[in-house]
Structure 1
């Protein structure tokens, strides 16, 4: 579980970094509108958090109480 969690978190971080450092590349693929560029720039932090939480949630949802031993 630890390896899967680390790999999914690493993949999520790579995607978030690509989104954070290359926003013009992402925007140009879909639109040339300046209004859309502004809106995407304002939503990028929320999108980044959502991507990271979603990457971790996929691994953690496979756990159940019986997988923990004390």
Structure 2
């Protein structure tokens, strides 16, 4: 799509000339999406660390029993 087509599509969204409101919505949605992605990756990493610690503890306990 050309920039002119995008401006024409964004026209009904905003009463201003140009794609001002439309681009603001896209930028805000992008920041929210990136924030959610960072949160999900951080949570997965934290949960992975907990699982790894539990495995190490189980291995240590199994080694003590043998």
TM normalised by structure 2 equals 0.35
Q: Bigger radius of gyration, 1 or 2?
A: 2
TM normalised by structure 1 equals 0.34
